Amino acid sequence: MPDIDTRDDAIKNVLSGLQWLIMHHAGSTAREQYAPSMHADGSDDHIKENKEWVGKLRTIRGEFENLVTGILDT
């Protein structure tokens, strides 16, 4: 884990980690959509699960960004 000396460093690390996870799950989804590697039901389950991960991670990222910037949700 990189050294964290400031609040900004911590925020950047969290956002970087979330972005990595989003890209990982989105990439896995896309690969399975365009070049299926398992039987139809397994492929559909894999795609559905990874899409859910991407959606939840994007929600977390948005809430985190709002939290650290002080933006209030209405």
Per-residue model confidence as pLDDT tens digits over 1-57: 668 899 999 999 999 999 999 999 999 999 999 999 999 999 999 999 999 999 999
74 part of a folded domain: no
Q: How far is CA 28 from the centre of its chain?
A: 12
28 part of a folded domain: yes
69 part of a folded domain: no
pLDDT given at position 58:
98
pTM (2 d.p.): 0.86
Domain region containing 46: 19-33+40-60
3 part of a folded domain: no
What whole-number distance in Å separates Cα of residue 6 and Cα of residue 29? 35
52 part of a folded domain: yes
10 part of a folded domain: no
User: Could you give the number of structural domains in the chain?
Assistant: 1
pLDDT given at position 45:
96
What whole-number distance in Å separates Cα of residue 55 and Cα of residue 44? 16
9 part of a folded domain: no
